[in-house]
Amino acid sequence: MLAGFLARTYDVERKDGFTQAQISFDESLETGARVDRRRHPTHPQYRSAKQRHHLLLAVWMMEYRYANKAYQVVVNAATAEVQGDRPYSAVKIAFAVVCGLVVVGGIVYIASQK
């Protein structure tokens, strides 16, 4: 039921999506076999779905403005992964660099006193 929610059409055609999924699964299996030498390489068999089904993903999309610039953020509600743009504060970055230099300088100074 999608009443009151925005629903989109397919971004990827079924055949293309199936091919992309196969490639992704094969790469994951190969990586797993390389990392864990106890795993033997597998030879999976894939069968394409005969019917079209919409997959509804829990994704939150947001856009906000900061200093007259638009920033977009997407949150995957299943994994809580956040992707998007964010503003950077030059003052905070400079402060962090200065603090790091002070810490490194302090360590060098203490090491030279011994």
pLDDT above 70 coverage of the chain, percent: 74
Select the more confidently predicted residue: 62 or 32: 62
Residue 103 domain flag: no
The predicted structure's pLDDT at residue 108: 94
* Domain coverage including residue 31: 11-54
Q: List pLDDT tens digits, range 61-71.
A: 888 888 888 88
Domain membership of residue 46 (yes or no) is yes
Number of domains comprising the chain: 1
The answer to whether residue 17 sits within a structural domain is yes
22 lies in some domain: yes
Q: What pLDDT sits at residue 88? A: 86
The verdict on pTM exceeding 0.85 is no
Classify residue 110: in a domain, yes or no.
Answer: no
Model confidence pLDDT, tens digit, residues 45-86: 777 666 556 666 778 888 888 888 888 888 887 788 888 888
Assess if residue 64 is contained within a domain. Answer: no
Question: Would you say residue 92 lies in a domain?
Answer: no
Is 67 domain-assigned?
A: no
In the chain, the percentage of residues whose pLDDT exceeds 90 is 19
DSSP 60-89: EEEEEEETTEEEEEEEETTT--EEE-----
Residue 62 phi/psi, 5-degree rounding, is -145, 145
